[in-house]
Each structure stands twice: as C-alpha cells, then as structure tokens.
Amino acid sequence: MAEPALKVEPRYTYADYLQWNGDERYELIDGAAYCMSPAPTRTHQHVVLDLGRQIADFLEGKKCEVFVAPFDVRLPDNSPDDADVRNVVQPDVVVICDPKKIEERGCLGAPDFIIEVASPSNTARDLALKCALYERHGVREYWVVQPDERVVVKYVMGPGGRWVPPEFVEGKGRLAVTVLPGLEINLDRLFPPLPPRPTGPARERRI
C-alpha cells in the first residue's frame, strides 16, 4: 500500500514576489510566504514614526541611512538574482551604513540595525523566525519593541557570528544602540505614561 503523500508547501522567490498584486503584503522567509498584518494600529504607527525620527535626527550628516516600512530587505543565501532570493522582509525600521547595499528597490544584504514593532499576531514570528534569519545573515543589532508589554528585547551580534544573550529592557528611560555609538533611544517617548486606572465609587463607611 502506498504511503500517503506529504503535503509540500510552495516555496517562492523574490521574482515571484514582484508579480503579486493586491492590497495584501507578504514577506518571504526561506521561500515560505507570510501574510503581514492588516493596516497597523495607531500605537504601532506612533512607535515606528518616533523611532525613525529619533534615529534620523542622530544620523543627520552621517553616512548611515534609516528607512521605515514598507521597505524591502532582500537577504540572499547565495546568488542575488531575483529568481534565487528566498528571503524578503519588510522590517519596521532599518539602518544601513553601507551605501552599496541600498538600491531603488530597497536593500540587498543585511542592514546594520533592524527594529520590529511587534503586535500580538506577529510577536512569535519576530522572536523566532526573523530572529534566526537575521542572525544567520549577519544583522549586527536587532530590537523587538513590544508596545503592549512596554518592553524592548535587544539582540546584539557577538564575535562568533551569534547573538549574545538578549536584554529584556523595561520601556522607560533611555536605551543605547550598540552599533551606533552615541545614540540612545528615548523610551519614554515611545511608551507614554499609562492613564490612571478609573476608581470605583467610594463605599459608604458605616460606624
């Protein structure tokens, strides 16, 4: 009796990706297509734009450039040809210090610094699949900002080409960017103070 055939998930390349039309946005990780979240929330937009603004102000007059999503980052394993590239991501914020990696279509090769602003639907992907992908391709620093938890997870590349143990940073004060000496992100701007909790009506005190 024949064994049941295993279901094989389709694998795609950047050449396929360029042919897709429609409103949905996708990322490719090892050829697998992942549909991105629908329109980001107001909080997500606030965090991304403020991160981009803080970094852009610091980089003014310097060689590094900052970009915010949507911005394609292609991470080729071997050939950079469109038909061979199986990793295409759209991080929320990227910093690139090698101008040769910047093209009109985005970035070809690993950025120096990537920030993903997580939502409940993509936190697992950002902390697992993308974290492993960025490590493999030599991204020097990677942050996962979690607005709901008010936490930043910070990964920095070690001398052996692997992440050192990550830092879990509470979202207040300032957090230094290791690969951009002198830059400290003001986390108080990213995570405004929570509104006070409403209190219930005072109970009548009986004597």
Query: Exposure string (b/e) for 144-180, b if CB count within 10 Å is 16 or more?
Result: bbbbeeebbbbbbbeeeeebeebeebebeeebebbbb
Q: Are strands 73-74 and 102-103 parallel, antiparallel or unpaired?
A: unpaired
**pLDDT band, residue 200 (cuts 50/70/90):** low
Note the pLDDT of residue 23: 77
The answer to whether residue 95 is domain-embedded is: yes
Helix (H, G, I), strand (E, B) or coil at 65: strand
Note the pLDDT of residue 84: 97
**Overall number of domains in the chain:** 1
The answer to whether residue 175 is domain-embedded is: yes
Domain span at residue 99 reads 39-71+88-190
Sequence letter at residue 115: I
Answer yes or no: pTM beyond 0.75: yes
Q: What is the largest CA-CA distance in the chain?
A: 84
Rounded Cα distance between 201 and 171, Å, is 32
What is the per-residue pLDDT across 134-177, written as a single tens digit (0 to 9) for each? 999 999 999 999 999 999 999 999 999 999 999 999 999 999 99
The answer to whether residue 183 is domain-embedded is: yes
CB 75 within 8 A of CB 109: yes
Note the pLDDT of residue 2: 46
Note the pLDDT of residue 24: 83
CATH number, domain at 49?
A: 3.90.1570.10
The answer to whether residue 197 is domain-embedded is: no
The answer to whether residue 15 is domain-embedded is: no
What is the per-residue pLDDT across 45-67, written as a single tens digit (0 to 9) for each? 999 999 999 999 999 999 999 99
Q: Residues 173-187: what's their mean pLDDT?
A: 98
Note the pLDDT of residue 89: 97
Q: Which H or E run includes 187?
A: helix 187-190
The answer to whether residue 46 is domain-embedded is: yes
Q: Which of 137, 173, 167 is nearest to 155 (CA)?
A: 167
Confidence check: pLDDT of 85 > 60: yes
Note the pLDDT of residue 38: 75
The answer to whether residue 60 is domain-embedded is: yes
Q: Residues 3-16: what's their mean pLDDT?
A: 74
What is the per-residue pLDDT across 96-142, written as a single tens digit (0 to 9) for each? 999 999 999 999 999 999 999 998 777 677 778 999 999 999 999 99
Confidence check: pLDDT of 3 > 50: no
Residue the block writes with tokens 């995570």: 191
The answer to whether residue 126 is domain-embedded is: yes
**pLDDT band, residue 4 (cuts 50/70/90):** very low
Note the pLDDT of residue 8: 55
DSSP label at 42? H
